[in-house]
Structure 1
């Protein structure tokens, strides 16, 4: 258990999550209160060292992040990618951890699990924990069968890549972005006004990402409120503007994002997206657990 981004806002909630995790797994902690540096859980050097220590230890099967917040992007130039390639380890988290998921995939061929952070484990119920544990224990489930809504029909297969839209766009054009060609792109975000989401979609379009991928799955978007004295577009209109005429399958409504309950998603493994008018689903094709 490491804290590569921000520290817990509520230590009682953190301790409750830690206790719940310990009821399922053997947990070693690599973060304690008192190391905070502003909005960071600890200085960059300490957070980097904690990640390296977890990667180096052959007994560690998964690295679970304390929470998101902010800070993972600062670590990328300091990480030992050669070390990472020698010991692939399942990295668990979401939101700001998107930066680590995609960078470890691009630089070290890691797979990841976009799932609950430690501070959430005291609050989540079986609807969230059971899909998480299924993926973490090597299963290859079908996701979103009862939730996905079609925007563009079709089928596509490719590595499942994505996460938080705001964080993902900060990697585009850097050495830590993955190859998007043929990928299935999954996106979610929270507290962003429609014009800001529009701006980020435009960034992905101009950078060629939306032309390179083979399919798109949109998770939960809870937009922030735009100023009441300004005109706006609805989020549905923004999504339609960028995705309704794509030559590949696009589905919306995946229960994935910042809101609970939600599904967990494997990052960096092959998946198949099938979008039809009457049924849509996302099938995981390969386990995220190393042999």
Structure 2
């Protein structure tokens, strides 16, 4: 059985019910689930004070379960970046641990890339579900999204080798790009710029998402990355979901499309939209830090990679089964 540990590195969990529901569902899906001792710790808006959360991450790194799945995001990893023992996390990765999550987990995942600029080998960081958000919802709140669940199961079994999505237009028909996949939450990523935790990825495939940020704020952060030389240095940019912000009466028609257009006008790097990822119910799993290939045919885009040889004993080509993702 695949061992899976649930931990809370950032924001406090509002109620234990969602955590218990997630643990039960993940057990039913075949994982050997354990909940970190401090998963429900509380201090202000955090899941325990900094020392508590830092110790939890180090404890999990030392135990090296197959999967370390964060219960939720929020805010809190930024406080820990300077104190984290990255060597211990790297050690867990060498023992096959996959660190999974999104949102605030962007800080942990990209901080590790910063320290492993040429890392080869297994797929160890996954932008994917969070336990309480994606597996802890009650049936009344809509339960578990099937695509999110299936994609996660396939990724953790080592069988997932590609995700496909449909771009809104065929502007990038014929595009092919190959590079290191990195990125995640746009706000968290921008907060790392200029710090020792920033991954200096060139020729990569950068994916971005955010929630509750007005389109002008999204544009401002995208242009910060472009003006810092980050966007121009990439092979491609994939934009996921940017929903949740209230429109302003001052917008006068301005919206996310205009924000994307402003970025495209300033870079030669292809900027694709439509990636099914972000603070949304249906999300794919993406191997952060892994080398991926991007192919676009008409409006159909595929992001593919080599599955982890340590897990997938019968590697078969999954690339074309994923248009529903």
TM-score by length of 1: 0.91
Distance 2:299 2:253 in 1: 32
Matches within 5 A, 1:36-75: 36-58=42-64, 60-75=65-80
Deviations 1:107-150 (A, max 9, x none): 25573111111102033232111111111111243212445644
Deviations 1:217-259 (A, max 9, x none): 1111115124324656211011012126743433211111111
| Greater mean alpha carbon deviation, residues 107-116 or residues 90-99 | 107-116
Distance 2:250 2:262 in 1: 23
1:169 aligned to 2:182?
no
| Greater mean alpha carbon deviation, residues 72-81 or residues 135-144 | 135-144
Deviations 1:2-42 (A, max 9, x none): 11101222322222112111222112221446621111101
Please tell me whether the aligned partners of residues 163 and 188 of structure 1 are also in contact (alpha carbons under 8 angstroms).
yes
Matches within 5 A, 1:263-282: 263-282=284-303
Match of 2:241 among 193, 217, 220: 220
1:127 aligned to 2:147?
yes
- Structure 1 gaps of 5+ residues are none
Match of 2:33 among 13, 27, 33: 27
Which segments of structure 1 move beyond 6 Å, counting only runs of 4 or more? Answer: 288-291
Q: 1:281 aligns to what SS in structure 2?
A: strand
Deviations 1:61-114 (A, max 9, x none): 221111001101111111112222333121011111111111122225573111
Counterparts in 2 of 1:5 and 1:171: CA distance versus 1, 3 Å: same
Matches within 5 A, 1:99-114: 99-108=107-116, 109=119, 111-114=124-127
What RMSD, in angstroms, separates the aligned Cα atoms of the two structures?
A: 2.3
Q: What's 1:180 paired with?
A: 201
Distance 1:149 1:286 in 2: 29
Distance 1:235 1:34 in 2: 36
Please tell me whether the aligned partners of residues 38 and 56 of structure 2 are also in contact (alpha carbons under 8 angstroms).
no
Q: What's 1:12 paired with?
A: 17
Distance 2:168 2:37 in 1: 38
Please tell me whether the aligned partners of residues 38 and 52 of structure 2 are also in contact (alpha carbons under 8 angstroms).
no
Please tell me whether the aligned partners of residues 73 and 104 of structure 2 are also in contact (alpha carbons under 8 angstroms).
yes
- Structure 2 gaps of 5+ residues are 1-5, 137-142, 313-325
Please tell me whether the aligned partners of residues 37 and 43 of structure 1 are also in contact (alpha carbons under 8 angstroms).
yes
| Greater mean alpha carbon deviation, residues 12-21 or residues 93-102 | 12-21
TM-score by length of 2: 0.82
Counterparts in 2 of 1:177 and 1:7: CA distance versus 1, 3 Å: same
